[in-house]
Amino acid sequence: MTVARLSGDTQLGRLGPALLLMAPAVVMVGLLFVYPLLVSLAFAFRNEATGAWGLANFHKAFALYGGDIALTAGVTVLSTALVGVLAIAIAGYLTLGENPRAVFILRWLYRWPLFIPFVVAAQLMRTFLAKNGMLNNALMSLGVVDPLHAISLLDWRGVVVTFVWKQLPFAALLISGAMASMDRSMIESARGLGAGRLRILLEIVVPQVQSTVFVALILSFVTMLSALSVPMMLVAGSPTLLTVDMAWRVNSYGDYGVANALGFVSFAMSGVAAWFYLRQGLREGGKPR
């Protein structure tokens, strides 16, 4: 009895400082993240005018913004897929490329967008992708596009271009890091046996860095899902992305109910990504990275 209590005490004694050290972080996360999150999730089900609880906000959200919900899912999934393909291509070339000068230039270049905030990227694209913007002007002077058929890309396509441009370096940085720390002997032996570079990339390198690719894409997905400035500045008219609709509900109608319902939908989307992320972490031994 005494022994048991004693060991309990020492365990607590050992745990004490650890708990104390964790407390500020836990309190911060709890107060500034978990609590508002739970309140906003709960208030998605509350009708602010009548005080009743129910699904009214969701009915309105889907009736008015159903198309935007689908578009948001579509744009973020498409952008994530493009980021994945291009990031693997860049990282693959950095790892397997044989022209040292090209590798050097690419390594130097690809990181630049990482240092540019979303809002600045959106402003750049606003003039770059417009009907008579820099892209079309360049294509016209090259004779690729004739002026009458030039189209503006300032809609969901512009958002995809901006998202990919902005998130690509982040994903490529993580993936090329993982590729660089790989054991090169397998690459060398595959090369020795006559495998082409593309085949080495797809069949030997990518499977080994799969988990990093996954993590990079999930983090990109969640970042893009939450970006407000890019759709706000690029998408003219509708349909647009959910973040814009949320801001609109709050700013124009003071309607937090429907905004929360849209937030709930957005949480659900990122929740799917978070689930994959945690599952990936557990598979690697319980330490999500």
Residue 134 as a binder of other proteins (CB under 8 A): the answer is: no
To other proteins, the closest distance from the beta carbon of 247 in angstroms equals 7
266 binds other proteins (CB under 8 A): no
Residue 285 interacts with other proteins (CB under 8 A): yes or no: no
Residue 38 CA to residue 28 CA, distance in Å, equals 15
Angle, CA of 61, 66 and 71, to the nearest 5°: 130
- Give yes or no for a cis peptide into 288 (omega within 30° of 0): no
62 binds other proteins (CB under 8 A): no
Minimum CB–partner distance for residue 267 and other proteins (Å): 22
- CB of 81: closest distance to other proteins in angstroms? 26
Q: CB under 8 A: which stretch of 49-57, 97-105, 177-185, 250-258 binds other proteins?
A: 250-258
Is 206 a residue that touches other proteins (CB under 8 A)? no
Is there binding between residue 13 and other proteins (CB under 8 A)? Answer: no
**DSSP per residue, 125-137:** HHHHSSTTSHHHH
- Count the site residues for other proteins by CB under 8 A: 29
Q: Is 235 in the site for other proteins (CB under 8 A)?
A: yes
Q: Does 157 bind other proteins (CB under 8 A)?
A: no
**Residue 252: CB minimum distance to other proteins, A:** 5
CB of 70 to other proteins, least distance (A): 12
The answer to whether residue 234 forms part of the interface with other proteins (CB under 8 A) is yes
CB of 181 vs other proteins, minimal distance in Å: 43
- Give the shortest CB-185-to-other proteins separation in angstroms: 53
Give yes or no for residue 159 binding other proteins (CB under 8 A).
no
Restricting to residues 104-133, name those near other proteins by CB under 8 A.
Answer: 126-127, 130-133
Q: What is the CA radius of gyration of the chain?
A: 24
Among 121, 244, 261, 265, binds other proteins (CB under 8 A): 244
Q: Among 233, 241, 246, 259, indicate the residue that binds other proteins (CB under 8 A).
A: 233
Q: How far apart are CA 96 and CA 90, in angstroms?
A: 10
Cβ proximity to other proteins, 248 vs 276, nearer residue: 248
Which range of residues in 6-14, 189-197, 200-208, 238-246 is near other proteins by CB under 8 A?
238-246
Whether the CB-CB separation of 223 and 76 falls below 8 Å is answered with no
Angle between helices 156-180 and 56-96 (to 10 degrees): 50
Which residues lie near other proteins (CB under 8 A)?
Answer: 63-64, 66-67, 126-127, 130-133, 152, 154, 233-240, 244-245, 247-248, 250-254
